[in-house]
Structure 1
Amino acid sequence: MTTTITEIADGIFRLSTYVPAVAPPAGFTFNQFLVLGDEPLMFHTGLRKMFPLKRDAIARIIAPETLRFIAFGHYEADECGAMNDWLAIAPNAEVAHGQTGVYVSLNDMADRTPRMLQDGEVIELGRGKRVRYIDTPHTPHGWDAGVMFEESTGTLLCGDLFTQVGNGPALTSGDIVGPAIAAEDMFKYSALAPGMGATIRSLAKTAPKTLALMHGPSFSGDGAAALHALADDYDRRLRAAMTTH
């Protein structure tokens, strides 16, 4: 496996590892995002077994030991499996997550006390970079779920939202909703919580210019329209599920 690095927005780098053996024959990408600043932030740690590969990739951009914040969408192996490996090599780093994730998992599982973020709380990274934490419970699945929005570039760090299979371009202006619908049909990974559509529509209010997907290409364009279309599909799925049952 190799990790490719692409700057998807000013000072925001996508580190992507393609694994053909996952979801064959198309395969699957596992993406991390590094937000530069005086206090750099990494969104997603990668799987624990991928840590050496990801560490070497980060080292091509910054010294890994200078990481200041480690964040992710929810507590799950591909989101935070290597969390403690990163804490071990970055002495000033702290895990930053929402209240539910901290209380339920991270107070116990993180080797250093995590920073609890309130919904809407902003972390100033320096050099003009500001990331805002947004709670998205049960969207797409974990009750501890959240996303981050980098305000200076309009980049929404989406976590598992818009998940798709394959190894497409690093950055696209094409359709990401259709492939996400197909992946949901395949994996059925979302919670289908009653408020899911409304939660996704609330993210559209940030009017993102870039959508940074954990599994799939990043998207440049009308992020709000893509979010509304995804929300519509989840509303459709929920109506169908309620009719069936």
Structure 2
Amino acid sequence: MATLSLSSGTTIDEIANRIYRISTPVEIPGGGFSFNQYLIDDDEPLLFHTGLRKLFPVVREAVERIMPIDRLRYIGFSHFESDECGALNEFLAAAPRAEPLCGQVAAMVSVGDFADRPPRALDDDETISLGQHSVRWLYTPHLPHSWECGFLMETTSSTLLCGDLFTQGGSHPPPLIESDILEPSEAFRQQMDYFSHTTNARAMLERLAALQPTTLACMHGSAWRGDGAALLRALADRVERN
């Protein structure tokens, strides 16, 4: 896997066929951290996560190393939070054909008002073709947090764009690993307590596991490759215990 590094410290890596992880290191109180976006380069390209508004220039530069930014067709995210969609309107201005892509709840409570163009609001289990890739919206309210939360499953490569699940600390994690991410992500969760404690977590994690993802595209830390179903079920066990 070849890594392209920009002057900002942002790196670009292809973690699955034409699915690129764009990762920017930052320093926060207590140590380093990373903000990841995922670009699916296809006939109808999709950027999942925009990054913080102040990161727009570096994320835009990274996207343009892969393709012209005005080709973007969809700008998606898991839930309405600054690191997920803070630069949404900046990307909409740079990509005239692009639509915000989110769930029905996010469109209703936030995105319909915030975004400079109307969102494409997806029903639970709805699939959109990007060309050679397809993405399926999975509504997961309050997993790990926010009423409008959900994830996209890229069905061709079995890549789950899993947002804040399996968040790992550190500013320069490897782009794609096959070693354990449950323990470091659980250590981070115990420290920050950012899960919602929803009683429906196991059922939602089991639904994700049933899709048998082989790549997990995490928003913070390394992406991961392996038996995603087993890992998601192990997370369900841990969440039920504490």
TM-score normalised to structure 1 length: 0.94
Could you tell me how far 1:164 is from its partner in structure 2? 1.2
User: What SS is found at the alignment partner of 1:59?
Assistant: helix
Q: Structure 2: which 5+ residue stretches go unaligned?
A: 1-7
CA distance in structure 2 between the aligned counterparts of 1:132 and 1:145, rounded to whole angstroms: 14
CA distance in structure 2 between the aligned counterparts of 1:12 and 1:92, rounded to whole angstroms: 20
Q: Paired residue for 1:217, among 222, 226, 239?
A: 222
CA distance in structure 2 between the aligned counterparts of 1:164 and 1:77, rounded to whole angstroms: 18
CA distance in structure 2 between the aligned counterparts of 1:111 and 1:226, rounded to whole angstroms: 38
Q: What pairs up with 1:198-209 in 2 under 5 angstroms?
A: 198-209=203-214
CA distance in structure 2 between the aligned counterparts of 1:154 and 1:192, rounded to whole angstroms: 27
Q: Tell me the amino acid that sits aligned with residue 48 of structure 1.
A: R
Q: Paired residue for 2:238, among 223, 233, 236?
A: 233
Q: Paired residue for 1:115, among 115, 120, 144?
A: 120
Could you tell me how far 1:2 is from its partner in structure 2? 1.8
Q: Paired residue for 2:28, among 15, 19, 22?
A: 22
Could you tell me how far 1:201 is from its partner in structure 2? 1.5
Tell me what 1:138 maps to: 142
Tell me what 1:69 maps to: 74
User: What SS is found at the alignment partner of 1:60?
Assistant: helix
1:6 aligns with 2:13: yes
User: What SS is found at the alignment partner of 2:136?
Assistant: strand
Q: Tell me the amino acid that sits aligned with residue 5 of structure 1.
A: I
Could you tell me how far 1:183 is from its partner in structure 2? 0.5
Could you tell me how far 1:84 is from its partner in structure 2? 0.2
CA distance in structure 2 between the aligned counterparts of 1:53 and 1:168, rounded to whole angstroms: 18
Tell me what 1:81 maps to: 86
Could you tell me how far 1:202 is from its partner in structure 2? 1.0
Could you tell me how far 1:150 is from its partner in structure 2? 0.4
CA contact (8 A) 1:2 1:53 kept: no
Aligned residue pairs, count: 234
CA distance in structure 1 between the aligned counterparts of 2:173 and 2:30, rounded to whole angstroms: 15
Kindly provide the CA deviation profile for residues 91-137 of structure 1, in whole angstroms up to 9, marking residues without a partner as x: 000001101100000110000011110001111001x2000010000
Could you tell me how far 1:200 is from its partner in structure 2? 1.2
Q: Structure 1: which 5+ residue stretches go unaligned?
A: 238-245
CA contact (8 A) 1:71 1:97 kept: yes
Could you tell me how far 1:31 is from its partner in structure 2? 0.1
User: What SS is found at the alignment partner of 1:183?
Assistant: helix
CA distance in structure 2 between the aligned counterparts of 1:225 and 1:217, rounded to whole angstroms: 18
CA contact (8 A) 1:207 1:223 kept: yes
Tell me what 2:161 maps to: 157
CA distance in structure 1 between the aligned counterparts of 2:88 and 2:201, rounded to whole angstroms: 28
TM-score normalised to structure 2 length: 0.95
1:38 aligns with 2:43: yes
CA contact (8 A) 1:23 1:165 kept: no
CA distance in structure 1 between the aligned counterparts of 2:235 and 2:91, rounded to whole angstroms: 33
Tell me what 1:100 maps to: 105
